Amino acid sequence: MPSQRHPPDGLAEKLAHELHVHQIELESQNEELRRTKSDLSAARDRYQDLFDFAPVGYFTLNRDGVIQECNLTGAILLGEHRTALKGCRFSRFVSPADCDGWHLFTRKVLGADGPHRIELALLRAGSQDAWHGQIDCQQMALPGQEPTLWVTLTDVTARVLADFDQRVAALDADARELERHRVALELHEDLGQRLSALKMELVSLAPCEKSEVYRERLGGLLASLDDAVSTVRRITQDLRPPMLNDLGLAAAIEWLVHDTARRVDLSFTLSLDAVAPDMGEQTRLALYRFVQQAVALLVFDAGSIELHIGTHCAPGRFVLVLRSRWQCKAKPGTTPLEPEAARILEHRARAMGGRLVIDLPRDPLVWIHLELVMPLAKPQDTDAEHGDTR
């Protein structure tokens, strides 16, 4: 009878120990896999939420422009449930006036690499009211799959309407400025010449009468005519100062301040850069109108008694500084300039494309400080800039 072979002593215990160690390692690896799966699931949910609730609409279109996938924001923008959007052509939501543009755009995207952008008038499901969307599109070709179009849709209706309002305001400002120019020419060429001719007629009648009463009345009439001619000249300058184009912005500002000081009790200083800034006619006129309104608000409305105006030309920008101080009898703690007036100046600065900084002290004895920084474009570009030139 053959003898049985027994394992060496301790071998069973050693195998059991190794199996136990492997079991622990497998359990640890299994726990790590479960944790990784949970993290991946949480990350997937987060990215799904980011995808669905992004501030823009995301769409995936096939080559024929059929929607294959979209996020929740995109469905809201198009006014349709996203399950109903799958299988629909995106062109269904494009305004009929822009359908040809959309068709040519998709052909361009499919024929060239890189992102492409277009703005279209779009329609929501069940509505004929158009809104404006910006579409960023790029062709994507994954291995083994047909090329698709990745589309990002952004609602830019507010921006488009704001741009439209700005263009209308610019056209309106140009129309008002042309009207000012026409009225100034009529005052200067018609009324001014009529008054001058009338004065000459009166002067020619002077030797015909030696009466003292006659000479006194004639002197009064001549003085009144001189005042009328001076008033016409001042109104003409206010409407459209000819020196603005002939002598530049600094000369026009200097004339404006001197004329204001002549009419009211105003102490002023000027520190105007002698170097003429490189700007177009529209920008120069808008800056003059800004100074004109600022001086009117500071001096005539708020009653300033001291005024300083300075200009400085730097590369690519023009800096205008206005400093003003109010009457000593004003009560401490009161605002020297009304908030509404400050908002008017800020609005005008933004309309010109500039930035206005206003320092309004609570003490009327302290100087108020206004600083306008105006970026300057190239001369050929400035004709397209328009400010509110009221």
Greater pLDDT, 275 or 325: 325
Measured CA to CA, the distance from residue 384 to residue 386 in angstroms comes to 6
The two three-digit tokens of residue 332, written as one number: 């401490």
What mean pLDDT is predicted for residues 97-112?
Answer: 90
If you count them, how many residues does the chain have? 390
Is 137 in contact with 47 (CB distance < 8 Å)? no
Q: Are 253 and 269 in contact (CB under 8 A)?
A: no
pLDDT of residue 389 exceeding 70, the answer is: no
Q: What average pLDDT does this structure show over 356-366?
A: 75
- Identity of the residue numbered 153: L
Least confident of 111-115, 152-156, 290-294, 374-378: 374-378
User: Other C-beta atoms within 10 Å of 19: how many?
Assistant: 10
Task: Give pLDDT, residue 382.
Answer: 40
pLDDT of 350 > 50? The answer is: yes
> What is the predicted pLDDT for the residue at 147?
85
Q: What is the pLDDT of residue 93?
A: 93
DSSP 221-284: HHHHHHHHHHHHHHHHHHH--THHHHT-HHHHHHHHHHHHHHHTT-EEEEE--SSPP---HHHH
| pLDDT bracket for residue 344 (50, 70, 90) | confident
* Confidence at 178, pLDDT banded by 50, 70, 90: low
> Lowest-confidence range among 51-55, 88-92, 325-329?
325-329
- Which residue would you say has higher pLDDT here, 104 or 348? 104
pTM higher than the cut 0.75:
no
Q: Is the pLDDT of residue 11 over 90?
A: no
- State yes or no: pLDDT of 333 exceeds 90: no
Residue 41 reports pLDDT greater than 70: yes
CB 93 within 8 A of CB 123: yes
Region 176-182: mean pLDDT is 61
CA distance 300 to 149: 62
Average pLDDT over residues 109-129: 88
For 41-145, where are the E strands, in sequence order? Answer: 57-61, 67-70, 116-123, 130-140
